[in-house]
Amino acid sequence: MKAILEIRGIALIRLQNIHKEYNGKPALIDVNLHIGLGEFAFLVGPSGAGKSTLMRLLYREESPTRGTVTIGGVNITRLSRSQVPLLRRRLGIVFQDFKLLPRQTVFDNVAYVLRALGVDEIDVRRRVSSALAIVSLEDKDNEFPENLSGGEQQRVGIARAIVNGPPVLLADEPTGNLDPQTSLEIVQLLDRISQRGTTVLISTHDQPIVDAMRKRVISLKNGQVISDVNSGIYEMEALR
């Protein structure tokens, strides 16, 4: 683990001795992780392994029972309720079910949060156009989500996640509702975003995608990290 940290330089995300319990039942046990700036990593494991719990700890939807989570040097477990929105503005989150607003156009879906944060309209247009260009949807800005394919809807979700320029992008099962070819395209898009300097952490149990990408793979089983491998694959046998 120390070797990985040294190779990857500064740890942007750091989990130390994380324990999480629900009604006395452990969901995460002594998890220690360091994810570097601009790194791309998969978080894999079967259902109930603790992937979603770990993701929720990162965007402070949950707090650990013990241990500390640090992002960019800030111990987020100690943030007050009023500070949590400030943390979340520095994170981009991509959801399995896209979470798009059906009555708003692609442009308005991506612009929604910027407008809520009081960004001026000229800046909104500039940033949304740029985000849509990154996900190759600049020509679909006036479409409504129902007129888009699943892959396109997920790309809108990614554009919304990156529009505020977050240093960290968290994607919780982003390919869960997509066919294999579209899934690969989405993960390759996330990889390209990572190469622009954003730290990307994807939770998934999509073995072909993980194997095809050959990136860092953190495997969780029964709430514990059982392997953390650079250029890894989804080790199905070990996770059974």
Partner 1 sequence: MRNIRIFLRVLRETTIGLKRSGWSNWLVISILAVALTIFGGVLQTTMAIKGVVSSWGSQLEISAYLKDGFDPQKVARNVSQLPDVQLVEIVPKEVAWAEMQTNYKVAALNNPLPNTLHIKLANVQAVEKTADKLKTFSSIEHIRFPLKVARNLNKVRQFLEIAGFVITGALSAATLVVIGNTIHLVIQSRQREIEILSLTGVSPWYIKGPLILQGASYGMGAALIASAFLFGLHAYMDPYIHEQLLSFLPMNSTGLDAGLLPTLVVVLTLGVAVGAGGSAWTSGRFIKI
Which chain residues interact with partner 1 by CB under 8 A? 59, 61, 81-82, 84-91, 93, 99, 101, 112-113, 115-120, 160, 164
**Smallest distance from the beta carbon of 102 to partner 1, in angstroms?**
8
Closest CA to 64 of 78, 46, 49, 47: 78
**Smallest distance from the beta carbon of 118 to partner 1, in angstroms?**
4
If the CB atoms of residues 87 and 212 are measured against partner 1, the closer one turns out to be 87
**Smallest distance from the beta carbon of 85 to partner 1, in angstroms?**
4
Position 161, amino acid: A
CA 176 – CA 94 distance, rounded (Å): 12
If the CB atoms of residues 123 and 179 are measured against partner 1, the closer one turns out to be 123
If the CB atoms of residues 91 and 225 are measured against partner 1, the closer one turns out to be 91
Convert 197-240 into a string of H (helix), E (strand) and C (coil): CCEEEEEECCHHHHHHHCCEEEEEECCEEEEEECCCCCCHHHHC
User: 88 CB contacts (<8 Å, ≥6 apart)?
Assistant: 59, 60
If the CB atoms of residues 66 and 99 are measured against partner 1, the closer one turns out to be 99
**Smallest distance from the beta carbon of 226 to partner 1, in angstroms?**
29
In total, the chain counts a number of residues equal to 240
**Cβ atoms of residues 57 and 20 within 8 Å:** yes
**Smallest distance from the beta carbon of 124 to partner 1, in angstroms?**
10
Rg (CA), the chain: 18
If the CB atoms of residues 35 and 161 are measured against partner 1, the closer one turns out to be 161
